[in-house]
Amino acid sequence: MTRIDAKFAALKAEGKKGFVAYVMAGDPDYDRSLELVRGLPGAGVDVIELGLPFTDPMADGETIQLAGQRALEAGMTLNRTLQMVRDFRTGDDTTPIVLMGYYNPIYSHGVDKFLEEAREAGIDGLIIVDLPPEEDEELCIPAQKAGLNFIRLATPTTDDKRLPKVLQNTSGFVYYVSITGITGAAAAQATDVGPEVARIKAGTDLPVIVGFGIRTPETAESIASVADGCVVGSAIVGAMAEGKPVSEVLAFVKSLADGAHRA
């Protein structure tokens, strides 16, 4: 059982919904980014999604693209991202961390080497947005053999024929993308999301967590009420981009987490 599995089992036992926060590793610099990540559990975050900066983030909207650029310009690399996880783990050995990004940096690093180092650093799961189920032998299967969850995205365009393929080797949780398009675009609507979550849950026992289009505590509460939890990314990354003190960003994160936990 991974930390992710244990966290969602504990939330279920408490009758609570989960709150997942996405932040970009190294944005705007290593020290401020690490300060933010270290503060997330105290702000009510159940699972941390750590973005791996990449030069061509095709699924991301402008807010997260710019965050990745700032991180890369500040010297962030895959190795430094793994070091950030190690630094976090010196004070927190329980909060799950999911590394979210693209396959190219992992492929360049070497899959076997990456998986060994990721596991050693304290990463619990992967979301690699540009690897479809047809490529499971590339990373998904090796990751699961190494003890890491491989979390798959389902979208409004994932029809009933495609869904079983998407769910086939997924573990940890299913990430349902509430809107078509890129991150940070439109606002998620619980009336649209609810039936889709039910459709996914008919095909899996895994928790279904909803992301994209959640920017306020009220939306976090409404979306979490029809799922097992929600993810917020662009709104948090945007708050960091405005140059706000980390303490202020964490207060905003806490308001979102409180919203999800009220559901």
Q: Which of 27, 49, 124, 136 is catalytic?
A: 49
For residues 208-227, average pLDDT? 96
Going by pLDDT thresholds of 50, 70 and 90, the confidence category of residue 60 is: confident
- Quick one: pLDDT at residue 40? 98
Of 258 and 188, the one with more pLDDT: 258
- Quick one: pLDDT at residue 188? 80
- Quick one: pLDDT at residue 76? 98
Does the structure show a pLDDT above 60 at 2? yes
How far is 111 from 199, CA to CA, in rounded Å?
33
Does the structure show a pLDDT above 90 at 184? no
CATH code, residues 3-262: 3.20.20.70
Going by pLDDT thresholds of 50, 70 and 90, the confidence category of residue 55 is: very high
Does the structure show a pLDDT above 80 at 89? yes
Q: Which of 27, 46, 60, 221 is catalytic?
A: 60
Does 49 qualify as catalytic in the annotation? Answer: yes
Does the structure show a pLDDT above 60 at 185? no
Does the structure show a pLDDT above 90 at 190? no
Q: 125: closest CA among 4, 247, 260?
A: 4
Does the structure show a pLDDT above 70 at 182? no
Does the structure show a pLDDT above 70 at 86? yes
Going by pLDDT thresholds of 50, 70 and 90, the confidence category of residue 181 is: low
Strand order in the sheet with 47-51: 149-150, 125-128, 97-101, 47-51, 18-24, 229-232, 208-211, 174-177, 152-154
- Quick one: pLDDT at residue 58? 85
pLDDT in tens, 107-136: 999 999 999 999 999 999 999 999 999 999
Count Cα neighbours of 28 within 13 Å in the Cβ-side half-sphere: 9
Structural contact between residues 45 and 95, judged by C-beta atoms closer than 8 angstroms: yes
Q: pTM of the prediction?
A: 0.96
Q: Is 161 exposed, middle or buried (0-12, 13-18, 19+ CB in 10 A)?
A: exposed
Structural contact between residues 90 and 114, judged by C-beta atoms closer than 8 angstroms: no
Does 159 qualify as catalytic in the annotation? Answer: no
Helix, strand, or coil (residue 128):
strand
Going by pLDDT thresholds of 50, 70 and 90, the confidence category of residue 102 is: very high
Does the structure show a pLDDT above 60 at 8? yes
Q: What residue ranges do the domains of the chain occupy?
A: 3-262
For residues 4-20, average pLDDT? 98
- Quick one: pLDDT at residue 167? 97
Going by pLDDT thresholds of 50, 70 and 90, the confidence category of residue 27 is: very high
Does the structure show a pLDDT above 70 at 209? yes
How far is 207 from 8, CA to CA, in rounded Å?
7
Does the structure show a pLDDT above 80 at 16? yes
- Quick one: pLDDT at residue 59? 81
The DSSP bridge partners found for residue 51 are: 24, 100
Mean pLDDT (the chain) is 96
